[in-house]
Structure 1
Amino acid sequence: MSDSETFALTSPAEGPVALNQSWLGSDRLLEWIIACQSDPATGTAYLGGTAEGVRAELEGLDQDWKDTVRVVTVQGQPVAACAVEWDEEPATAWIQGPWGSEDAVETWGEPLMAAMVEQLPAEITTLEICGEVRNSAMADLADRLGWQPTEVNHAMVLPVEDAQSVAARSSVDRPAGITVRNALEQDLPRLATLHESEFPEAYATSAQLLSRHLTVVAVLDEALVGYASGQIQDDGQAYIDFTAVDPAARRRGVGRSLILAVIEQLLQAADAERLTQVHLTVREEKAPAQALYESLGFRTDAAIRGYRGTRSGS
C-alpha cells in the first residue's frame, strides 16, 4: 500500500473521516485486533482467539489483509476496523470483523461494510460475517443491513491427545462392509450430490474438496454413501469442515467411520509441534451428529452464527 493512498468513511453523525494511514496493517493494529478476538462479544468466528492464531489466519487470507483492512481511529486510537477475503468460484466474500465496541460498530459498521464492498471484484455477489452469538453488535449490524442470519452452529474441539487415541481405532472400530478411502476424481459427481444437498451455500465447492481439502469417502455395498473433508488451517490447527452421509445409509456406522478416518488423515498432515486441537462445527438442530462427536470426545467450545447478504443489498 503506497503512502499516497488515502481512504475516508462517512459517519451519519460525524461526516467524512480520514482513516489513519499509520495504523493500516501495523503491528499496533494487529495487537488491537487480537484483543478484540479474545472477547466473544467483539470477535469474528473466522479467526482464532490466540495471538499466534489470529496472526497466522490473517496472514493466510487469499488477499493480503494489510491491503484490504480499513480502520477508524479516534484521538489516535483504533475504534473500528474490517478486512475482507474473497473467492470468485463460490462468488463469496468473507468479511473479517467488524471489530470494535458495540457503540463503535453501531456508528462505523455500515460505512466499513461499504468500504469492503468497494474492493470486491464484480463477480462477488454474496457477503458473509460470522461471530459468537454473544456478539450482539454484529447481529444488530446484520439486521440493519437486511442480511439473513444462519442457524446457530456449535463449535466443538478435540484435544490432540484424544484425537490420536480415537484415530488409532479408525480401522478397528469400522463396521463390516464399510470401506473408507481417499476421494478420487471419479468420485466428484456423487460427491457433488452429497455436498450440495447437505451444504447448498458452502464456502467450498465440490471440486475444491478434492483440490484444497483432505477428503475421504465411505463405500457401502459398492456405493459411495458419505464423505468427510477437512484441512490444516494457517494457525496449524486441524478443522473438519464438511461431513455428509446419504440418509439411506445412516445409523450404520458410516458417519463415525468417516470422522475417525479424516481425523487420522489430518493428524498425519499436521505439524505435530503446532497442532493442539481438532475443530469442527455442527448445526444446533443436528442433535444425532452432536451426540456422535461427543461420544468421540469432542466438547462444545462456542455457539456461533453467520449472517449472509447479497451485494446489491449491502
Structure 2
Amino acid sequence: MIGFPFDNLRPRSFVIEPLARADAAAIANIHGLTFRQPWSDEDFHALLVDENVFGFVAREEGNRRAQPGGFVLARLVLDEAEILTIAVAPAAQRRGLGRALMDAILRHLHNARASMLFLEVDELNGPAVALYRRLGFKQVGKRPGYYETSSGRSSALAMRRDLKPGR
C-alpha cells in the first residue's frame, strides 16, 4: 500500500490537561521556539511549585510521548489573575490551541470566582491580539519598547477581561 504523501499534515486532536512540574522541560522547549527571550526549565519549575500558579498543556490525543502542542501559565492571587505566558509550538499553530488553552484558563477562573484577568501581549502579534479581543479583553495600558524584536523594540499592550457580570 502506498502512503499518501501528506499524511503528516492531517489535523491532530489535542486534549487540554493541567500542567504538572514534570512538564517544565517540555514547555520551556515550546517557549524557546516562540519567544526571543525564552524562559528556562528551571524558571518554569520554580513557577510550577508556587501555590498561586497553575496552567494547562495541550497534548496530542493518544500520544502521551509526543511533544506538547502548547501551554498556558497563569497566576491567581485573591480574585485577580494574570496570564504569565502562553505559547503554541510553530508546528501546532492555527489549529485553535491558543483558544482552547485560554478557554481552560477562563473555566478555571470562573470556578475559582476570580473577578478579572490581565495579560500583556506584543502589539505586533496580530493573531494573539485578535484572539484576546474576541475573548473580551480590553486594552488598559501600553508599555512602549517592552519587547525586543529582530528590528528593534515593540510595545506591550496591557489587557484586562472582567470575569464577573456587571463589572
TM-score, scaled relative to structure 1: 0.37
Give the C-alpha shift of residue 297 in structure 1: 1.2
Q: SS of the counterpart of 1:205?
A: helix
- 1:234-249 equivalences in 2 (<5 Å): 236-249=79-92
Give the C-alpha shift of residue 254 in structure 1: 0.6
Query: Structure 1: which 5+ runs fail to align?
Result: 1-174, 309-314
The one-letter code sitting in structure 1 at the alignment partner of 2:59 is V
The one-letter code sitting in structure 1 at the alignment partner of 2:108 is Q
Contact 1:196/1:206 (8 A) holds in 2: no
Q: SS of the counterpart of 1:285?
A: coil
Contact 1:216/1:261 (8 A) holds in 2: yes
- 1:245-284 equivalences in 2 (<5 Å): 245-269=88-112, 272=113, 275-284=114-123
Task: Report what 2:60 is aligned to.
Answer: 220
Distance 1:301 1:307 in 2: 15
Task: Report what 1:192 is aligned to.
Answer: 28
Runs of 4+ residues over 4 Å off in structure 1? 201-204
The one-letter code sitting in structure 2 at the alignment partner of 1:256 is R
Higher relative contact order (CA 8 A, sep 6+): 1
Aligned residues: 129
The answer to which structure has the higher strand fraction is: 2
Q: CA deviation digits over 1:139-193, x for unaligned, max 9?
A: xxxxxxxxxxxxxxxxxxxxxxxxxxxxxxxxxxxx9822000012332221121
Task: Report what 1:171 is aligned to.
Answer: none
The answer to which structure has the higher helix fraction is: 1
Contact 1:182/1:216 (8 A) holds in 2: yes
Distance 1:239 1:260 in 2: 14
Distance 1:266 1:197 in 2: 28
Q: Which structure is larger by alpha-carbon Rg, 1 or 2?
A: 1
Contact 2:12/2:60 (8 A) holds in 1: no
Contact 1:230/1:266 (8 A) holds in 2: no
Distance 2:12 2:89 in 1: 18
